A = this chain, B = another copy of it.
Amino acid sequence: MNPPTASVRTTPSAAPTPDRHGTATGYARQLVRKHRPTLERALETIRTRAHWTPYPEDPQAYGPDGAEAGEAAFGRSLHRHFALDQPGRDGVVGPSPAEGGERSPYGPELGISYDHHDPAVLLPAMRAAMRRWNEAAVWTRAAVCAEILARANARSHEFAQAAAHTSGLGDVLAFRAGAVHAQDRGLEAVAHAVAEQTRLPDTAAWRKPQAGARPFVVDKGFTLRPRGVSLLIGDGVLPAWHGYPGLFASLATGNAVLVKPHPRAVLPLALTVGVARDVLRETGFDPDLVCLAPERPGEELARTLATHPDVRIVDYAGSAAFGSWLTAHARQAQVFTGPSAVRGLLIESTAHYRDMLADLAFGLALHSGRLRTTPRNLLIPRSGIPTDEGHKTYPEVVADLGAALGTLLADDGEASALLGAPLGPEVLARVDEAASGVLGEPAVRPRAVRHPRHPDAVLRTPAVVTLDAGRAEDLATLSAGWPGPVFFAVAVDSAAAGIELLTRTAREQGALSAVACTTSPDVEAALTDACADAGITLSPNLRGNRYLTRSAVHSDPHGTGLGPAADAVHRDASFVTRRFRTLGVRRLGAPG
């Protein structure tokens, strides 16, 4: 890569222009003043890739009573109808699970019902809402988005509760991925939207010299046009974290956004839509710019909406199979998919054996293997690894990892916070299947953990199954994308064989990134080259913070779009530029 060039520098900072058609209300103008410093800082940060967030990830930062107030607010959503006052209501979804209502992974039904809508009424209303939104200035739209995020941020404890009781996230992940980190990702998308929409002048005089005559002058005006209605198909595990980038990128570029939540995780996105509609209404825009479309059981509403001619953008992070279906069928739309992935970790050598084991144990326990960024396959040379505590054989490494997991998860309360909520019955059955030895030797067996606040809820600690890369059936097992907290310690012939297996799996199954533990510069160099060729981000020897699984907002591209793992890449101009277009109007100018 290269130094930035002076030729693309922009003019000094200027006050935001008023809206083209004067549509911004006083409150909207006030929001531009309020959020401009935050947006400016976000714009700076996407350029420098530094660490920064306006949304503290420490739950204590939200006041001494924050957690309690959030829990109470969450409680007020339960056992009632969630009204959004959208057009085209034609029925109700929920409250019972048989009617499409949600059930907490901890057992109880949430008892919430939602309105169901007729797309033939809802979509035209959303299209109509776009006109005024489009006439607003880029900074006005961005400030409205920032206000939505700020209000969601103030309710982070409530959003965390909603995430815990729908997706079954543990406390830490529920507060982060269910609230503040999702807000980070949303703001990042808004910043990219501002940057891309303000890159060019909106007028230009074009003078072409003419031999023997006065120049030919054309006055050009350029306007931005959104694509149309943007559909967000929510996922069941991280609906906010996966959903906010597309939602805010589309909204900030002038599109309306229809949110089709996952049937098991409606509430987090319903709360989001509610906040968005409040802010839009208060700023004088049409709240129907952001609508929720819950579905009846078995309705397959995502397919209906994704192929509707009014839907011009689709965001989806979920199964590779449905991602492929969308790409094939939603031909009228720009489709952003981030399908599933298998993540590999090479353990070749270490100068910090105990730390490495503790980090690994933490990484495997956190979220019960629910995230696509969790390492699944631990590739270890069968001859063992050199460490600062001497040579460790392959069985020793696996046993020591089991001991580290045992230490980390000894206390049921702490274990519950890390593991998250109980697994669903299907996933639990698969974990028990893995523990039974049908896949390979279960070198680390899962333990049942009782949740302190939910005595009936039973969780499982991670299972680590040993496989051998030399056996074809084991290769099939490690490529299969096992759900839940089942991990594979895979014996490989050598570091080179491990690198080959890691990158081959990434190419075939997709991977967001790879992790490695090695003290060898040669191995690291070979891995760096191989990951670059395979199109995956590499994190060698990260340790100490224990968050092996993270990609940093504003800084790391999340996905590369090079492998089969994901087409959409947050932190990439095309994530935003594909959502709007530039139109010109050209008029004859005065010859100068």
Chain A interfacial positions (CB closer than 8 Å to B):
1-14, 16-17, 20, 40-41, 43-44, 47-51, 58, 137-139, 194-202, 204-211, 216, 218, 220, 222-225, 227, 327-328, 331, 513, 528, 531-532, 535-545, 552, 555-557, 560-562, 569, 571-574, 577-578, 581-588
Q: What residues on B are CB-neighbors of A585 within 8 Å? A: 528, 531, 537-540
Beyond A544-B588, A577-B573, whether A583 also contacts B531 by CB under 8 A is yes
Query: Shortest 5 CB-CB distances between A and B: which pairs?
Result: A6-B13, A1-B202, A7-B43, A4-B10, A49-B204
CB-contact partner of A47 in B200, B223, B327, B587, under 8 A:
B200
Give the chain B neighbours of A223 by CB distance below 8 A: 1, 532
> Which residues of the other chain, B, contact A552 by a CB distance below 8 angstroms?
206, 208, 218
A2-B17, A538-B585 are known contacts. Are A204 and B574 too (CB-CB below 8 A)? no
A50-B537 contact in complex given A1-B198, A6-B13, A582-B572, C-beta closer than 8 Å: no
Given A50-B204, A223-B532, A585-B528, are A199 and B4 also a contact pair (CB < 8 Å)? yes
Quick check: B1 and A535 within 8 Å, CB to CB? no
**CA of A536 to CA of B14, assembled, Å:** 30
Q: How far is the CB of A383 from chain B (nearest CB, A)?
A: 26
Q: Distance (Å) between the CB of A96 and the closest chain B CB? A: 41
Copies in the complex: 2
Report the bound CA distance from A13 to B4 in whole Å: 7
- For the complex, what is the distance from the CA of A538 to the CA of B220, rounded to whole Å? 10
Residues of B within 8 A of A584 (CB): 513, 537-538, 556-557
Closest to A547 in B: B216
Docked complex Cα distance between A528 and B206 (Å): 20
Q: Are B556 and A194 in contact (CB under 8 A)?
A: no
Tell me the complex Cα distance, A475–B218, Å: 33
Point out the residue from B16, B50, B537 that lies within 8 Å of A206, measured CB to CB.
B50
Bound: A489/B75 CA distance, A = 68
- Residues from chain B with a CB closer than 8 A to the CB of A58 are 211
Residues of B within 8 A of A205 (CB): 50
Name the residue in A4, A14, A328 with the highest tally of chain B Cβ atoms < 10 Å from its Cβ.
Answer: A4
Complex contacts, A539 vs chain B, CB 8 Å: 585-587
- Asked if B10 contacts A6 (CB within 8 A), the reply is yes
* Minimum C-beta distance from A76 to chain B (A): 31
18 A-B contact pairs sorted by A residue (CB < 8 Å)? A1-B197, A1-B198, A2-B139, A3-B11, A3-B17, A8-B10, A9-B9, A49-B204, A196-B573, A216-B544, A218-B552, A539-B585, A539-B587, A540-B585, A542-B588, A560-B583, A569-B581, A572-B581
Tell me if A9 and B10 are in contact (CB < 8 A).
Answer: yes
A560–B577 Cα distance when bound, in Å, is: 12
Question: Which residues of chain B are near A207, meaning CB under 8 Å?
Answer: 50-51
Query: Which residue from chain B places its CB closest to the CB of A567 in the assembled complex?
Result: B334
Q: A540-B585, A586-B538 are in contact. Are A10 and B5 (CB under 8 A)?
A: yes
CA A198 – CA B513 in complex, angstroms? 23
- Most B CB atoms within 10 A — which of A5, A139, A227, A583? A5
Chain B residues with CB under 8 A of A556: 220, 584, 586
Q: Measured between alpha carbons, how far is A5 from B11 in the docked complex, in Å?
A: 7
Residues on the B chain within 8 Å of A513, using CB: 584
Chain B, residue nearest A579 (CB): B574
> Is the beta-carbon distance between A14 and B8 smaller than 8 angstroms?
no
Taken together as a complex, chains A and B put the C-alpha atoms of A51 and B207 apart, in Å, by: 6
Contact of A6 among B12, B201, B562, B582 (CB under 8 A): B12
Q: List, in ascending order, chain B residues with CB within 8 A of A16's CB.
A: 2-3
Contact A49 B201 (CB under 8 A): yes
Q: Most chain-B CB neighbours within 10 Å: which of A513, A531, A543, A552? A: A552
| A41 contacts across to B, CB distance below 8 A | 7
Chain B residue with Cβ nearest A228: B562
CB-nearest residue of chain B relative to A558?
B584
The reply to whether B555 and A581 form a contact with Cβ atoms under 8 Å apart is: no
Which of B3, B5, B209, B574 is within 8 Å of A573, CB to CB?
Answer: B574
Residues of chain B with a CB closer than 8 A to A8's CB: 10, 43, 47, 195, 198-199
Given contacts A4-B14, A531-B583, A541-B587, 18 further A-B contacts (CB under 8 A): A1-B197, A1-B202, A1-B223, A2-B17, A2-B137, A5-B194, A7-B40, A8-B198, A47-B199, A47-B200, A48-B201, A49-B201, A50-B207, A51-B207, A208-B545, A532-B583, A557-B583, A572-B582
